[in-house]
Amino acid sequence: MKRREFIKKAAFATAASVLPLTGHAASTGDKKKPMNVIFILADDLGWSDTTLYGNTSLYKTPNIERLARRGMTFTRAYANSPLCSPTRASILTGQTPARHGSTSPGHHRPEVRMKASVAPAAAPKHKAIGTRSVTRLDTAFPTLGKLMKTAGYQTAHFGKWHLGPEPFSPLQHGFDVDIPHHPGPGPAGSYVAPWRFRKFKANRPGEHIEDRMADEATGWMKSAGKARPFFMNYWQFSVHAPFDAKKELIKEYRKKIDPKNEQKSPTYAAMVHSLDDAVGALLDAVDKKGVADRTIVIFISDNGGNMYNRIEADGGVTPTSNFPLRGGKASMYEGGIRVPCIVVWPGVVKPGARSDEIIQASDFYPTLLNGLAIDLPKNHRIDGVDITPALKGGKLDRKGIFTYFPHSPPVPDWLPPSMSVHSGDWKLIRLFHGGRKGAHDYRLYNLAKDIGEKDNLAASHPEKVKTLDRMIENHIKDTKAVVPQPNPRFDPKLYKPEHIGLPASKWRAAKNPKGKSRGKKT
């Protein structure tokens, strides 16, 4: 669809004949000031990739800091998965991947799979057979886009989707506008034009896709009618692969590289810079439109920072480091799932506030619907909780959050198919059938004392393991999750426990003649 067709459709959506606001949707008590919503979702942005938490000296994110001054920064916010599509599906449905079935990001591939299933087989070296993920977001779901549109909102989606091409695109999930209408896992070919998006051309040579998305989003926001509020997804392509950026920014950051710093990629630093510029452009547009006092802004990432790719232009270094967290994207350790998060909600959130409450991306579904007085859909189970008490500075009444990842891609700090629960200071990871004779294996950490997850306390705290594992089992039963199964072809002679936590490139270097762990605490 061409841009002028999108704009025409957006203009039509502002007409008075469209559905009126239901109830007092989008209101905080004053029906004359309905609340707009901007949902900013970064792609692969790690917890240590912004200046919010004091863990980077290389990356510069002044606009994200500017956003934080307007709202609440969460120190313990989590994606629903260490990979992107599952978290995206959770945001739109309020469900965990265990329930909606999207557990890996294969939504751009040709195969259409609408139900999760156990994989046909696993190699004899694996103790468990993993699962096969859903590959499309079913249009039967009452997604945020659909519910907002039905409530009378003007709706638009800009940037990455990765939940399925037509007929599973944003246009079928309640969004009037979808730019650039791209189903892929990242930008088409490059961040800097010329790129290869279908029917979406650059306005000028060397145009950066994040600059263009910000232009499109702010242009739509400017044209959005004043009579009805708007709901806008701004789901950034940044900072997903491919790893390229504006040459002038790469040159600038190359001068700032400290070899002793864990973060040493000037290209990635330049990508973070452009991501932050886009956030600033949205804030400027909100201010210029005069709606800052009635616009909710949510900022979060879909999973942790990438620690497994290499950027050859920077000497083969990894894109980023999530230190002090362990692991990264595609890992069940904190580096893969703990993410930066800010919520701006005028009249609810105190500007400049911080919260240590545990929240998860799926929580925004019930929080937005309840806060905007939009009825929760019937016959649709919701796993997220309303985090309004936390937004007001209080505590949340929740026992824990669950992360389900029944896959084992060989990235640094990978684990066999697993599921975790966070409860208070504790985190338990269940490795499906990773123990003896088909039993599960466990990793238990006290994150208050061991944020780097170096000391596995499972053996010394068996009762805590039992309590938390019961929570995992209850969630599996409640969601009717398709779970990994014992591998009938498992051959103990081929099992290499010393490979756990190592990327495939280092498997040959790992030696373990006695079949024991490599000595480090896990």
The reported pLDDT for the residue numbered 34 is 79
- Contact (CB, 8 A) for 176 and 148: no
The reported pLDDT for the residue numbered 28 is 42
d(CA 113, CA 22): 35
The widest CA-to-CA distance across the chain, in whole angstroms, is 74
The reported pLDDT for the residue numbered 392 is 98
d(CA 351, CA 518): 48
488 residue type, one letter: P
Helix (H, G, I), strand (E, B) or coil at 89: helix
Helix (H, G, I), strand (E, B) or coil at 156: strand
| Two tokens, residue 261 | 């710093």
* Tens-place pLDDT, residues 395-418: 999 999 999 999 999 899 999 999
| Two tokens, residue 110 | 């040709």
- Contact (CB, 8 A) for 318 and 264: no
Domains of the chain, start order: 3-99+142-397 (3.40.720.10)
pTM to 2 decimal places:
0.92
Residue 310's CB is within 10 A of a number of other CB atoms, namely: 14
The reported pLDDT for the residue numbered 512 is 54
d(CA 221, CA 233): 11
Provide the pairing of β-strand 177-179 with 128-129: unpaired
Q: Nearest 5 degrees, angle CA 93-CA 94-CA 96?
A: 100
Low-confidence ranges of the chain (pLDDT < 70): 1-33, 511-522
- Contact (CB, 8 A) for 178 and 11: no
Phi, psi values for residue 296, rounded to 5°? -80, 135
The reported pLDDT for the residue numbered 19 is 40
The reported pLDDT for the residue numbered 435 is 95
Residue 280's CB is within 10 A of a number of other CB atoms, namely: 16
64 residue type, one letter: I
